Amino acid sequence: MIYPPRPETRVSLNQLPLFEKLGFFAQVKLNGSRCVVILQNDSVQVYNRHRELMTLTPDANLHSLYTGTGTMILDGECLNKSQSADIEIGRAFCIFDVLMCDSEELL
């Protein structure tokens, strides 16, 4: 289900089909922190939604995602550890969008 971040203005379930007909799209909010990953040469920088460097970064080897030249920018979410005893997520990185690849903007 898709809900806005403020409960007082959330969209009720019966209104979701209306938004879909109007062409609205949304992504599921996972249990994590939104981040932008910049891969450039041998460096990996991870920024939060406030454009600050993150200290808690994904466990994933992010450099293995990119073998091109130039800069690659990924938009996604650094997942927090699962609260469930059945699932061990760690600090995985869920990619939502590739914003730049080989220094070419993809938007």
In this predicted model, what pLDDT tens digit does every residue of 35-45 receive, in sequence order?
899 998 878 88
- Which DSSP string corresponds to 7-59? GGGPPPGGGHHHHHHTT-------SEEEEEEEEETTEEEEEETTS-B-SS--S
Q: Does pLDDT of 64 surpass 50?
A: yes
Within 49-102, strands assigned E span: 71-79, 93-101
Instruction: Give the percent of the chain with pLDDT over 90.
Output: 9
Q: Does pLDDT of 68 surpass 50?
A: yes
Element (H, E) at 19: helix 16-21
Point out the least confidently predicted range of 6-10, 75-79, 93-97.
Answer: 6-10
What value does the mean pLDDT take over residues 72-82? 81
What value does the mean pLDDT take over residues 25-44? 79
C-alpha 89/C-alpha 79 separation (Å) is 7
Q: Give SS3 for 8.
A: helix
